[in-house]
Structure 1
Amino acid sequence: MTALLLVHGRSQEMAAGADRSAAAVAAYVEGRKREWLGGLARGLTLAGHPPVRPEDVYYPFYGNLLADLIAAHERAGGHTPDLESAPVAVVAKKATRTRDDLVLEAAEELGFRPSRRLARTDPELVAPVVAVERARAAGAEAGWSDLLKPRIVREALQFLAEKTGTSELIIQQFLRDVAYYLEDDRMRTAVQKEVSAAVDRAVADHHHDMVVVAHSLGSVVAYDLCADFTASIRVRLLVTAGSPLGYPIVRRNLRGGTEGADDRGVPAVLDPIPGSPGRDRVWWLNAFDVLDVVALVHPLASRFSSGPQRIRDERTFNPTAPHSVSDYLSDPDVAGPIGDVLAGV
């Protein structure tokens, strides 16, 4: 049988002060899983497939863990013996730099031009900004100074909020969590341990094949999982939805490539079912809504080596919210390939 691994993203933790007894956590996680499966059931029905069997679904939950680690990290300030990786101040500085780069890359994808924005708000900064823009246009390695970058990042954040209708706070919180996952080895290892344990449970339950469906930050987690994959189970399909994997700063920090370079390939572990004659093999399906601020850098196929042959990008129009996982999975063009693999087609 084929297992279905659902890898959630950020901001899935229980509310502050909520009951965290084993029973309460289990009930909460079941509710989160039902949200995914409800959307997927609609998409599968529209694609002509039956719903998935609950016993084949694995939903590793790291929401509380990640939120607690980030909160403890930020409470700790400049130094704490509790963190076994780099000192807090070092990790925080790296995470802030990564977050700022994510903001700038997202804004540039939508046509952000710093000099134009600053002409309205800080005209005295226009000349040095134009100088950097011209140097970059000429192919030079020109970066923003410590004086200019904070102001430009603020303008880029406002620009993103205006363009996407997403609040600046939500954008900042998402990009912060992605940055911490990428830059803090302790957080990354803890999250990977939870997800890998779910794969091990699927193997123990005698599943031989697996479909991995990942949303938001979960797509980064899933890519890392696939890059390091050692389990005795075949990954027949990877599905990412609302993914930040298009951002160069994210790809530079993924597993399975040269450190500092954004050249990454389709994970070698992906082994699609050949399918019936005339049916395309799908290694990796990536779904994006053009208003989803997390997935603004799209499509993915051209950004990964062997991607044009192995990644199918699918544009969706999510009716309730651009980043909604249930909306993504309700799309029959997203759910259909999942149903094909689960049915062994």
Structure 2
Amino acid sequence: MALVYVHGIGNRPGRSYDEAAHRREVLFRTVLLPAAGLTGAPVVMPCWGGLTRPPRWGLASLPHKGTERLGPDADERDALVEQAPSLLIIARQSVSDALDALYTMIDAQYRQENLLAQAQDFVRYIGLRESLYPHVPENVRYPWLNEVRTDIEFVDRLVAEVWPPEGETLGAGSPIRDLLVSAARRFNPTPLVVGAGRRLVSANTALLLADVLQYTALRGTRDEPGEVISLVGKAIEEAAAPRIVLAHSMGGNIVYDLLSHYRPDLRVDVFVTVGSQVGLFEELSLFRESSTDPEAGKVPLPPGIGKWVNVVDLADPLSFRVAPIFAGADDYGYPSRATWAHTAYLKQPNFHARIGRRIAEALA
């Protein structure tokens, strides 16, 4: 048995990738695999991002503020305010969802592993409590929810009264409390200046587009597959059965292309796609095996896929359904409640626990 994780676009080898991969692996090993009944299974994470070509002119094509304007100067002080809902608003619907959203705000560069583990345990513990009493309203389970008025008060009250389960309290000055409060303060973003936001986003956007376009152009043929297809195919082939493949974003498209065309002989017992575009790619006939017949019905699953679980967040602009397109595939909604939902899923402990339980059901 093994879990193979295939990342999406915008990943490049280096310190940032290594740190993010480490945090993902910790959640796989401590939450997802135990929930799936696969504790101790190997985790394989092929990094294909470094196989795409770097921009030839070093992204000289990006817009620059020194470019001559076509018309009168625009007011660069115009701002785009993206107001996220407060943790408290989310908590009054689901405390576990609020804690997952809070966890995503913990700085990815935070390096105190023991404190991160405590924060993770706290979030998981709340999720477990919620799952035991799914029909009990939040204001009954936590009657003080109607008394607190700010996100900070919510975090303070929850930490003090609920954690740890043995009854000890963690008040002001507790490292884990301070970490969670710091994350809560970052939950509602300040206004982003359009010009600065554009300059910040453009380079990342260019690299994301590069990954999609170059994969499509360089994926090769069945007889001579490209480097990305070869790397991912080898990782899945060498993984022990039962094979669980979890693919995020563009990773889902790569794995589907692999299983439907390049390596239909590979067996994947459970295929999990998260924030992926497989349904859209098939509608646009972008896969090697895509049909262009407008009268064709639903697409049958590749022969190697046992069970397909697809996760969609309505707040994620890059996630698409597959059930209306593929026969035998199942869609599940998951509200990450994060400001940028596309990368939030895999940072949230309760998401991993829920996916683990779905995997266990699929393997039963």
Given the two structures, how large is their TM-score scaled by the length of structure 2?
Answer: 0.50
Distance in 1 of aligned mates of 2:295 and 2:230? 25
Return the offset for 1:247: 2.4
3-state SS of 1:228 partner: helix
Match of 2:66 in 1: none
Identify which of 346, 351, 363 aligns with 1:326: 346
Q: Deviations over 1:291-342 (max 9, x none)?
A: 22221xx32211x141xx432333332547411242367413323222445x
Partner residue of 1:236? Answer: 269
Tell me what 2:48 maps to: 62
The question of 1:11 aligning with 2:10 is answered: yes
Q: Please show how residues 267-286 of structure 1 align to structure 2 within 5 Å.
A: 267-272=301-306, 283-286=307-310
Aligned length: 222
Closer, same or farther: CA 180–299 of 1 in aligned 2, 3 Å: same
Is contact 2:29–2:40 with CA below 8 Å preserved after alignment?
A: no
1:192 equivalent in structure 2? 229
| Among 301, 305, 309, the residue aligned to 2:323 | 301
- Displacement after TM superposition at 1:10 (Å): 1.4
Aligned to 1:144: none
Deviation at 1:36, TM superposition (A): 2.2
Give the letter aligned to residue 223 of structure 1.
Y
Give the CA deviation at 1:8: 0.7
For the 8 Å contact 1:319–1:327, the answer to whether it is kept is no
Matched, 1:180 2:214: yes
- Distance in 1 of aligned mates of 2:17 and 2:208: 20
- Report the residue type matching 1:215 in the other structure: H
Taking the TM superposition and a 5 Å limit, the aligned residue runs for 1:20-99 are: 31-41=19-29, 43-44=31-32, 48-49=35-36, 52-53=39-40, 56-66=42-52, 69-72=53-56
**Pairing 1:156-175 to 2, within 5 Å after superposition:** 169=202, 170-171=204-205, 173-175=207-209
In 2 relative to 1, CA 177–250 (structure 1 residues): closer, same or farther, beyond 3 Å? farther
Q: Distance in 1 between matches of 2:54 and 2:302?
A: 31
8 Å contact from structure 2 (residues 35, 356) kept in 1: no
> % of aligned pairs identical?
19
Give the aligned residue type for 2:252. Answer: S
Match of 1:220 in 2: 253
1:335 has 2:323 as partner: no
Kept after mapping to 1: 8 A contact 2:25/2:43:
no
1:256 and 2:289 aligned:
yes
Structure 1 pair 210/248, CA: closer, same or farther in 2 (3 Å)? closer
Structure 1 position 288 matched with structure 2 position 322: no
- Cα offset, 1:256, TM superposition: 1.7
Letter in 2 for 1:327: K
**Structure with greater Cα Rg:** 2
Deviation for aligned residue 1:224: 0.9
Is contact 1:223-1:267 (8 Å) kept?
Answer: no
Q: Post-superposition shift, 1:212?
A: 1.0
Following the alignment from structure 2 to structure 1, what is the Cα–Cα distance between the partners of residues 226 and 295? Answer: 21
In the TM superposition, residue 194 of structure 1 has moved relative to its aligned partner by 0.8
Residues 171 and 293 in structure 1, CA contact (< 8 A), matched pair in contact too:
no
Matches for 1:134-173 after TM superposition, within 5 Å: 169=202, 170-171=204-205, 173=207
Q: Following TM superposition, by how much is the alpha carbon of 1:286 offset from its aligned partner in structure 2, in angstroms?
A: 0.9
Query: What letter matches 1:71 in structure 2?
Result: P
DSSP-derived class of the 1:237 partner: strand
In structure 2, how many angstroms separate the alpha carbons of the residues matched to 1:250 and 1:179? Answer: 17
**Which has the larger share of helix?**
1
Secondary structure at 2:55 match in 1: helix
Q: 1:313 aligns with which of 305, 326, 332?
A: 332
- 1:255–1:36 Cα change, 3 Å: farther
Question: Which residues of structure 2 form unaligned runs of 5+?
Answer: 61-193
Deviation at 1:4, TM superposition (A): 1.1
**Counterparts of 2:295 and 2:59 in 1: how far apart (Å)?**
32
Secondary structure of the 1:246 match is helix
Task: Output the aligned Cα RMSD.
Answer: 4.0
Shift of 1:59: 1.2
Q: 1:209 aligns with which of 238, 242, 257?
A: 242
